[in-house]
Structure 1
Amino acid sequence: MWQNIERDISQVIGEEFNIKHKQLVTGGDLNLCYWLSDYQHNYFIKLNDKSRLQQFETEAYSLEKIKQLNTIACPNVITTGTTLDKSYLVLEYLPFNHAGTKNWMLFGKQLANMHQESSHGQFGWQHDNYIGNTLQPNDWQSNWRTFFAEQRIGWQLQLLAEKSIILGDIEHIIRVCHDALLHHQVTPCLVHGDLWQGNIGFSDNSVYIYDPACYYGDREVDLAMTELFGQMPDEFYQGYHETYPLENGYETRKLIYNFYHILNHANLLGGVYVEQSKSNLIRILALH
C-alpha cells in the first residue's frame, strides 16, 4: 500500500518521494491519519475503506474552492487515490501551535472576508458531499428557507426515521423551520459547513481551516456552529463583527442552524444526541 502512495505523491510533486518517517496522528475519529516524511517533504494522509474515496474527493474539492478565494488559508491538496483496499487523501503537513489573541482576531476577520467575497447566485453546491460520514445533499435552490428546511433539517429527520427514530411530523417540522427564516434576507456565500474548533489550526501566525463540508449558504451557519460545542474566544467574534456585522434575529436562526448538526450527531452517534435533538425541537416548535 505505502509503495503505491509513494509513487502517487512522487508523480504529483515531480520528484521521488520515499517514506522515511511515518507517525500515527491521533485526534480524528473517522479516518486513520499519518504524518509522512522523507525529511524534506512532509505530508498528512487520511486513510479509510476504498469505498470512501468519494468523501475524500469532495473534501479535496472544497479545500480547493476555499484556497481559490485567497481570504483564509487551508492545507494544500496533494492527491487523492486508492490502493488495493484503501482510499486516501494526502495534504500538506502543518505543525499547529498555540493561538494567541491576535490569531483569533485575525481568524474572525479572515472568515468574514471569505463570506463577503464569495457571493453566488444560488444556494447549494456542485455536487453532494459529506458532513462527517453523512451524505449532505446540495441540489441548487434559489430560496434559502426552502434549501435549509428541506435539504438540511428534513434530510436528517428522514435519515433518523429510517432508523425508527421519530421526532415528530417531518413535514410540520420542515414548515416551522422554513417559517422561522421567513424574513431573513440571505446572499449565498461559501461556507465551511462544519466549523468547530477541531477544524481550525494555527501555524506560523497563519490561520488554517480544514475538514470542510462546503456549500453556498447563509454565512450565519458557520458562526452558529462556532457556538455549538463551546464558543471561540471573544477576539474571534470581535474580529468577525468588526468586519461583517450580523443582522438582528441571529439568536433565533442560530437555534435552527445548529439543529442540523445536532440531528447529524444523533444520526451518527445516537444516544444523548437524540435526547438533545428532542430538547432543541421543543424550543424550535415554540417559535411557531
Structure 2
Amino acid sequence: MWHALSLHLSELLDIDFEIREKTAINGGDIHDAYCISDGGEQRFFVKINERELLPAFEAEAEGLRQLAMSGHIRVPQVHFVGPVKDNAALVLNFLPIKSLDDTQAYLLGQHLARHHRWGEQAEYGFDDDNFIGTTEQRNCWHRKWCRFFAEQRIGWQLQLAAERSLHFGNIDTITDNVKAQLVGYTPKPSLLHGDLWSGNMGLSVNGPVVFDPACYWGDREADIAMTELFGGFPQSFYNGYQAEWPLDDGYQQRKDIYNLYHVLNHVNLFGGPYLAQAEQLLIRLSLTN
C-alpha cells in the first residue's frame, strides 16, 4: 500500500516522492494516522482505514476545501483522497501542532467569528450528506433552523439509537419539543466546522489551525457550544470571538440543545459512558414530555 501511495503522490505533486520514513501518530479513535516523509523536507499527514470508509475521507476533504474558501481560518491542505490498494487514504500537508497560548487562542476566536460572518447562504444544510465521526450526518436543506436542527440532528440521532435498541423516549415528542424551543429563532446561516472540540484545533507554525470538520450551514452557536462540551477552549478564545462578533441573547439556553446532538452521536459511536449524560440532558431540557 505504501509504495502505491508514493506513486500517487509523485504523480499528483509532480515530484519524485518515495516514503522512507513512516511514524504512527496517536490521538484518533477511528482512523490510523501517520506522518510520512521522503527522508528530507517533504512530509505529509496520512489517514488510513478500510476502503469502505472512503466516503468519510472524501467528505472530510470537501469540508476542508469549503472552510478554506472564506480565507479567515487555516486548515490543512488536501493533497490526495482516494483508494490505495485495499485501503482508503486521505493525505494532507503535515502540520506539527501544539497547544494554543492565550494570544493565539484569542486570534482563533477572532478568525472563527470572521469566518462565521462570511457567506450569503439563505438556508440551513449542505449540498451533500457527510459524516460526524463515522456516523452519517444528514444535511437536507431547510429554510427554518428549528426544523433543520430538530429533524436532521436530534431526530436522526434518536432514530440511529433506536436501531441499536437504545430508547430515550418518543422520538416525535422529543423532536417537536426541540422545534418548540428553537421556533422563531432565525440565525444567519454560517458555514460551520461542525465538530469543533479541543482535539480538532491547535497551533501550527503559521498560527491557529482547525481540522477534522463535519461541515454544514447552520447556527454559529452550534460551533461555539461544542467548544464548551469536551474540555473547553481557553477563555481567551471566547474573548476574541466576542470582541469580533458577540453571541446572540439566549445562547446559554440554546447551547445544551446543540450539544445534545454530539452527546447522542457519542452514544451511537461509543455507547455506555455517554448514556447517562444524554438522559440527563434530555431531562434538563424538558424534551421527553
Q: If the TM-score is normalised by the length of the shorter chain, which range does it land in?
A: over 0.9
- 1:4 equivalent in structure 2: 4
What is the distance in 2 between the residues matched to 1:64 and 1:98? 24
- Following the alignment from structure 2 to structure 1, what is the Cα–Cα distance between the partners of residues 50 and 156? 25
2:191 corresponds to which residue?
A: 190
TM-score where L is the length of structure 1: 0.98
Q: Is the CA contact 1:180–1:287 (under 8 Å) kept in the aligned structure 2?
A: no
Three-state SS of the structure 1 residue aligned to 2:4 is helix
- Separation in structure 1 between the aligned mates of residue 285 and residue 193 of structure 2, nearest angstrom: 24
Partner of 1:207: 208
Supply the distance in 2 between the matched residues of 1:76 and 1:198 (Cα, whole angstroms): 18
Q: Secondary structure in 2 aligned to 1:285? A: coil
2:144: which partner in 1? Answer: 143
Q: Which runs of 5+ in 1 are unaligned?
A: none
Q: 1:89 to 1:205 in 2, by over 3 A?
A: closer
Contact 2:130 2:136 in 1 (8 A): yes
Does the 8 Å CA contact 1:192/1:214 hold for their aligned counterparts? yes
- Per-residue CA deviation, residues 94-149 of structure 1 (Å, 9 max, x unaligned), is 01124221100000000000000133111111100000110000011111110000
Equivalence for 1:29? 29
Question: In 2, distance between residues paired with 1:163 and 1:239?
Answer: 41
Give the partner amino acid of 2:15. E
Q: 1:74 to 1:165 in 2, by over 3 A?
A: same
Letter in 1 for 2:227: T
Q: Which residue pairs with 1:162 in the alignment? A: 163
Match of 1:241 in 2: 242
Looking at structure 2, the residues matched to 184 and 16 of structure 1 have their Cα atoms a distance apart, in angstroms, of 54
Structure 1's consecutive aligned runs of 4 or more residues displaced over 3 angstroms after TM superposition are none
Q: Aligned residue for 1:61?
A: 62
Residue 287 of structure 1: how far off its partner (Å): 10
Structure 2 runs not aligned, ≥5 long = none
- Count residues in correspondence: 288
Q: Which amino acid aligns with 1:122?
A: E
TM-score, length basis structure 2: 0.97
Q: Matched residue of 1:149: which SS?
A: helix
Cα gap change, 1:165 to 1:84, in 2 (>3 Å): same
Name the structure 1 match of 2:180.
179
Look up the match of 1:260.
261
